[in-house]
Structure 1
């Protein structure tokens, strides 16, 4: 039962992103800021660090493709970026301690890498003409604040679940 719960958690994070965007549309129109929830990558990063690296990368590929098919017009950006961010964070965590504060900061770094990678890919293929300084001010900083709030709310319960998930995997 514990093993079947992880895909549900990650799927829920995937769905929560679109629900959050739908609920925030009216309020964000009044502001010039762009707030992007990245609950999916946060859950994948936590899975990679506390659960199983292989499962984190696998969920990164699966949900990256799903994200591209459902939300973007360019197939491949999230398919490439989600597993790459998961891999980079797992590599970083080989050097750092895996306490909740460090993992939360690394998750924010992962969100930053994802946002920067998507911005650069869109800039290269001429899908955006936003200057980098505008991108940081209008999109990156508000996105990091929103995802920090999400991390603060979800980090401890997700950590506990993923540690028991990893233990169940080791026992099998």
Structure 2
């Protein structure tokens, strides 16, 4: 009925493994963001030098305004692409961490179910009602967790669709504004 040292060791191993998985996921995410930032900074410097050279080659004010408008669109698109990349990294990280927590919850539920079965076998007569009530409460909590989890996934999908739509609208609006200035 009581947990043995081997059971405690196994439970601790599972917990440590889950924490290591989460730590590795966080580090991988940080590496991806750092690589993205380094790449973006390098591209920004190269683009700035190129843009400066282009703008310095303008022969008159009209050409300078036209060049500025032409250079604005790619910069907005790059900023949007950067934001989208950061969002994707964070969404993937959140998804991986959620999977670890779901696996932990599943294991916890199995363990609690096993303990309740042992308790019900060794419990005094009449305690079936209490064990059934605990099992019912656990089932209700799991159902609520599943509902919240599904709702959170739907919200994430809607948010992702809205981000994509807003991104496209921003790029189109800046492109149209740039064309109007150039004209």
TM-score, scaled to structure 2:
0.30
TM-score norm. by structure 1 comes to: 0.32
If each structure's helix is expressed as a fraction of its own residues, which one has the higher value? 2
